[in-house]
A and B are shown apart, each in its own frame.
Chain A
């Protein structure tokens, strides 16, 4: 790399690149605990998110045990079942996926991919993580207060979330709301960093249209999150006041345990509007980074430029913008003015168009490619398959009429798990297999990776594909057990049992992943700087893993977009972004290293 940079100096004096002052810690604690290095913060985010995610995974297995084999396990009762459901959903959506994609991958990849030394506000970035950790701890604490965590469902709908009959209305819901507020504050600090870093700290030559799609995805998701999370914040604070001070923002005049309450006139629908005004963009907050990352994985491992880059960027922007005008499709049968249904069904189905374009372009990237089926690629293709399925079932639920029979059934559960649980998680795994060599300097074990992929991919499909059909039959979600519901066929219980067994297998398969993460750190094959022969800047760093400051002495200069794979007449089938056309014949340091290996 240094070769290129030195050559570049002749043409573009470095005076124009503002050097960043980095805080260089001297102690171990300063380096790894109170670290201001985005890469360390990324790993802190990642580890915390994965650990709390494992808790949520265990909760899902417990739920499945009850559903597959009702009345077999003594320790599950209707009250704690709802608590498991709630914590599982909330952790997975907010504390795992949002935190991992933005706090984890965002922190690690943004500065490296745009060619910056670090985030622009490293100190704020550090605080962001510690506030996030506090939010997680408050969440965990809510399990241990009297009455336990809240059992209101992850949507926390009032009045039921804070009135008798629901578990955890004493401490649980209060701590949950506080934890969410903390999460939002922490995220806002991080989010400011991601936005300003992408806009301001790009290295020379890195125009917007040369950004890898990963950065685009994370960037747009951050924009959505910054604008949408305030809605959750507002609703959380107002609900907290309703619960603690007896205001009636959301709480209507109602009876509780046979007694009149002091609430009067509040609007439960107002909460739902606010919640989903956050909640729908939240889907894309998780999905857009996944879209971006998977685009880069596909392009790299298919050795082919991403198909229709500009269309991909505009699709990300269009999806982001549209995601703010579809929220009420979660409320078709909520009792809101039914005429809203026409508007929201239309906007919802319109959003299918840019989403479909993305899918086409992924598949067209494979077309006439030169596909290397290594582990990250397996996960990327698994993602496409799962996402197609989950995306198409969204067309059922988005279409207001079809939502009538399917809303609140297991069809919904199957749909959103397919589209925003399994799909993004497959991308998370693919991304970890892809970038682990950069983060640690060692490759993850291939065999373990393949075992992990096949069980996870096939297992999750076996869980969620048949589950749609339970929904067709009419099985309602959030039921502790459906007993002898007359219209449910007897065989549907067998299907439930089969789904549970698949879920247990998938959950245990994650052990292969954890073992792989752990052992490869010490014993994995040395990776070298650019094992996948990729073009983006993070693979062109002087050191692997990159040191604080990312790029050694001088920042790279970018001459081309991130997708110069299989360029005609080039020596190799990839040209890194920092290789200038005049240097094309000369291999870069990273390539040199590859050749020597």
Chain B
């Protein structure tokens, strides 16, 4: 559980630090004079006018949940690894290719994000389509890796390392599929002429953050599986 606890400790430290900032030297029972209402609002709390869009914070919270989920998988993996019947998995080389494709899809999205900041609609389209294709390729690649493994006789029940491999890759791929749904929505918005650029920028940005994040998770998981 060490990995999960490290993650939680960092998160909790951040929460506590933020809370200290909010509460230090605040006397909650002191009422504002009416004229102070605006000022108080600005000093304490995020307030309702802080420009961070709800959806961004929502994504942030969701990513914390996802981190907790994968941290627990990693914890379970490392605990289970200690047992005598653990046999390291021979990872198919295809995974290297898939990793490359996933990196590429992240790069495409980053490119699209930059383009969206420049208000370059055409470039956004190119980037986002490129990313979509790479992502689909990644998922097909992962399925192919499964196929290779099972063709070689490594089924999910053969060994705990195999079990974790199938389970973790499937969970990761499901998260990416969920992301593709959001990406699809952004794409359809891109092709609607009525949609405004700021709205598109937000969509692209959210997708990019999510993709980078899942890439980082994949790199950690892949490194873990390679080294054990």
Which A residues lie at the B interface, using CB under 8 A? 7-8, 11-12, 16-18, 120-121, 188, 191-192, 195-196, 199-210, 223, 226-228, 230-231, 233-234, 237-238, 241, 245-249, 262, 264-267, 270, 273-274, 277, 305, 309-310, 313-314, 317, 321, 324-325, 557-561, 563-564, 575, 580-583
Contacts and interface: CB of A to CB of B under 8 A. Distances in A.
Contacts of A200: 46, 48, 50, 52, 54, 57
A209 B26 contact: yes
Interface in B1-42: 1, 4-5, 8, 11-12, 15-16, 19, 22-23, 26, 28-35, 37-38, 40-41
Given A196-B57, A267-B80, A324-B8, A309 B38 contact: no
Interface of B: 1, 4-5, 8, 11-12, 15-16, 19, 22-23, 26, 28-35, 37-38, 40-41, 43-50, 52, 54-55, 57-58, 61-62, 64-65, 68-69, 72-73, 76, 79-80, 83-86, 156-157, 160, 163-164, 167, 171
Chain A to chain B: the 6 pairs with minimum beta-carbon distance, closest first: A265-B85, A207-B44, A560-B31, A580-B34, A230-B69, A246-B157
Given A195-B61, A208-B22, 14 more contacts: A16-B49, A18-B48, A188-B62, A199-B46, A207-B26, A207-B44, A231-B72, A234-B73, A237-B167, A277-B1, A309-B28, A317-B16, A324-B12, A581-B31
Given A199-B57, A227-B65, A238-B167, A277 B72 contact: yes
25 contacts: A8-B37, A120-B54, A192-B58, A195-B61, A196-B58, A200-B50, A203-B48, A204-B38, A204-B49, A205-B37, A207-B44, A207-B47, A208-B22, A208-B45, A209-B23, A209-B26, A209-B44, A230-B68, A233-B69, A234-B76, A245-B157, A265-B83, A277-B4, A557-B37, A583-B34
A207 B48 contact: no
Contacts, number: 197
Contact of B47 (A202, A246, A321): A202
A265 B164 CA distance: 14
B26 A120 contact: no
A530 to B, nearest CB: 19
Contact of A317 (B5, B19, B32, B69): B19
Nearest to A116: B48
A321 B23 CA distance: 17
A66 B179 CA distance: 52
Contacts of B55: 121
B162 to A, nearest CB: 8
A121 B54 CA distance: 8
